[in-house]
Chain A
Amino acid sequence: MTDGSLARAALSLTLLALTANAEPHLAVREGFLCSQCHVNRAGGGKRNAFGANYSQTALPLWRPGSDTTRLGVVSPNLGEYVSVGADVRVQHVTVETVRTQFEGEWLVAPGGNTLRVPQANLYGELTVVKDHLALYLDEKLGPEGASAREAMILLYGLPYGGYAKAGRILLPYGLRLADDEAFVRQATGFNFGNQDLGVEVGAEPGPAFITAALSNGTLGGTDDNERKQLTASAGVKARWGRVGASYSWNDGTTPAGLSVRQVGGGFAAANFGRLTLLSEVDLIVDTARPKGGERTQSFELAAHAEADLLITRGVGVRAAFGYHDANLKVAQDHRTRLALTVEVFPIPFLRVTATYVMRDDIPQRVQGRGDFFVVQLHGFL
C-alpha cells in the first residue's frame, strides 16, 4: 500500500466516524424509551412533537429571546397530517500521522484534515389514520447521492404499545448508539448505514419492550425469497435504566455453500442523576461450509462502555471505550478505541461536539492506530 492510499484509507475510515443519529444516553438519562422522542419506535430519525419540545426546552444552554421577543415553540407539524424533520451534520476531522515498524519495515499512515458533510437527511411523516397509521420517509440527501435510509408504512397505537413497520427499515438490535463507528455498531453491522427490506413488529407493555424483524438479510448476495434474516431485541426499562438482549440469525446460504451469521449480545444502561452509563457486549459467530468443503466457524467479540455526565443544561461530557476482537481464536489481535467528547447544545436545534479519539490496533493495521479529532456542527429539527 502506498502512503497515499493508506492516508485515504485512514481518512475514509475516520470520516465515517461519529455520524451520530440517535441519542440513547438522553433516553436513559430521562427514563424514556426511544419512542418518546422519535417517530421510529426503535429510535433515530425524525423526532415527534415531544422530541421537538424536548429539543427546545431541556437541551439548549441558551434560549434566544428577550422580554419582548420570543421565538415561539417550533413544531415539526405542518398541520394535522404532515410533519417534517431534518438532520444536517458538518464535520472537520484532523487525523494524526502514524509510523509503525513491523517486521523491519516502516508502515506509515499519513494524517490530514478535511471538512465535509457526513449527513444530510430529510424526514417526512404523513399521517393517514390519526394515531394509528402513517407513511414515514427518512431520505438521505448526502453524501454520495440521495437514497432512502428508511421508507415504511408504520402502524401504531395498537394494544400494549404495539406497532408494526413494513418497508425499508433499520434493524432493531442493541443500543442504537450515537456513534456508528463504535465497534458494537461497526462489527455487528447494525448501524445507520445498513438498512434492510422487511417487516418489524414490536410492543412496549408496561416496563418491557420487545421487537422482532424479518428481513431479506444483508449478508450479501441477492434475495432468493428463501433465506432471511431474523432480528430480535427485548428488555425491561425502569427510571434507573434498562437491561436487554438482542439476537440475529442471518442466513446467507447460497448454492455455493452454507453461510450463516449469528449475532447475540446483551446491553445495559443506568442513570444516576447527572451520570448515565451505557454498555453493550456482542458475540458474532460466522458459520460457513462451502459445497463439498469443511464446516468452519469464527468468533468475533465487540464491546462498548460509555459514561455521560451532564454538567448543566446544554453541556455534557462523554467518555466511550470500545473493544473489538476480530477473531477470538487468534491471540493479541484486538483493537481498542477511547473517545472523549464535549457536547454543547448552545441554542435550540443546534449541537456542537468536539471529540478526540484514541485508537490502538495491531502494528500491521497502521490505518487503525492514528488518533483523530472531530469538531461537528449538528443542526436538526
Chain B
Amino acid sequence: MRAGLAVALLLAVSAWGDEPPDLVRGGVVYRDACESCHGREGDGRGPGAAALSPKPRNFVTGAFKFRSTESGERPLLSDVMRTVSTGVRGTWMTAFGPLLSPTDLKAVAGYVLAFGPKGEPPERVVPPAGELRPLPDTPAARERGRALYQSLKCGQCHGPEGRGDGPAAATAVDDHGESTAPLDFTVGLYKGGSTPQDVYRTFVTGLDGTPMPSYGDSLPSEEDRWALVHYVRSLSRSPGFFRWLFGPRTPWE
C-alpha cells in the first residue's frame, strides 16, 4: 500500500503540471485533519468513522460527490480544495477553510486525490464558479423550472413540494449501502453548496456514490439549467423558531 501510494504520488505530481501540491505537507495535514474519519489509507474507515452518518468518503474508489467533471470521472484538484475548504453541510465533513492556508488546502487536496485511481487529468464540464454567470431569476424562469422539475421526475425522490419525501426516498441508498435521504429543498442544507453556481454544478455533474444522477445530458440548454436552479432554490423557506430549535443542524456551522 505504501509503495503504491508513493507511485501514485509521483504520477499525481506529473499530472498536475507546473505547481504541484506539496504532497509531503499534504500528508501531514491529512494526518491531523482527515485521518480520524477517512482513515490512514483513505478508505473512509478511520477510528471515528463508524459513528458517522453519512459515512466518510472512501477516496480509494475515486467516486467523489462534488465535482466539475463528468459523472464517473475523478474530480479536479480545485474540486477537492473547494470541498475541504467549504465542508459538506448537513454532514461531519467540516469546513477547513478557516483553519488551513491555501497552500495547505492544495497540499491536502493533492494527497486525497493520490489515494484514488490514476490516469489522464479529467475534463472540466462545469466552469469555475467565478466564470459561471447565472441567467436572471424571473417568475417565468421559476415557472419553467417547476415544469422541468415535474418532467424530469425530481419529485420521485425529492417529493412534489421538494420536501425530500418522494415515493423513492425511503429506499434510496448510497454506495455504502446506507440509507440516504434526498435533500429537503425547503430546509436548504445543500451539501454541495447553496449558491446558484453550486446547485447548477450538482445538476450537471450529479453526485457520484449517491442516487442523484447527472442531468447534464437531460438539460442541454443553459436556460433550462438555470430555470431549474432558480425554481429549486425558491423552495427554501426561512426557518421559524421551532425549526431553529428542533430542525436539522450542521454541527460545525
Contact = CB atoms under 8 A, between A and B. Distances in A.
Nearest to A67: B102
Interface in A239-283: 239, 272-275
Interface in B196-253: 244-249, 251-253
Interface stretch (B2-10, B25-33, B163-171): B25-33
Contacts of A53: 33, 36, 94
Interface in A59-83: 63, 65, 68-75, 77
Contacts of B33: 53, 73, 75
Contacts of B99: 56-57, 63, 65, 70-73
B47 interface: yes
Contacts of B31: 75, 77
A83 B33 CA distance: 15
B190 interface: no
Interface stretch (A25-33, A84-92, A118-126): A25-33
B244 A70 contact: no
B245 A73 contact: no
A70 B95 CA distance: 13
B252 A65 contact: no
Given A72-B99, A72-B101, A273-B246, A77 B32 contact: yes
Residue from B35, B46, B47, B248 with most neighbouring chain A CB atoms (10 Å): B47
A142 B168 CA distance: 59
B112 interface: no
A241 to B, nearest CB: 14
Nearest to A75: B32
Contact of B249 (A49, A68, A74, A274): A274
A49 B98 contact: no
Contacts of A274: 244-246, 249
| Chain B interface residue number, banded | 20 to 34
Task: Give chain A's interface secondary structure class.
Answer: loop
A308 B236 CA distance: 29
B29 A73 contact: yes
Residue from A50, A68, A161, A239 with most neighbouring chain B CB atoms (10 Å): A50
B100 interface: yes
Nearest to B251: A58
Nearest to B103: A70
A50 B251 contact: no
B47 A50 contact: yes
Nearest to A310: B249
Interface string B18-47: 000000000001011101110000000011
Contacts of A70: 98-101, 104
Interface of A: 30-33, 36, 48-50, 53-54, 56-58, 63, 65, 68-75, 77, 131, 161, 239, 272-275, 310, 313
Interface of B: 29, 31-33, 35-37, 46-48, 50-51, 53, 94-96, 98-101, 104, 244-249, 251-253
28 contacts: A32-B51, A36-B48, A49-B32, A49-B35, A49-B48, A50-B36, A50-B46, A50-B47, A53-B33, A54-B251, A57-B94, A57-B252, A58-B94, A58-B252, A68-B101, A69-B101, A70-B99, A72-B100, A73-B32, A131-B47, A161-B50, A239-B53, A273-B244, A273-B248, A273-B249, A274-B249, A275-B246, A313-B253
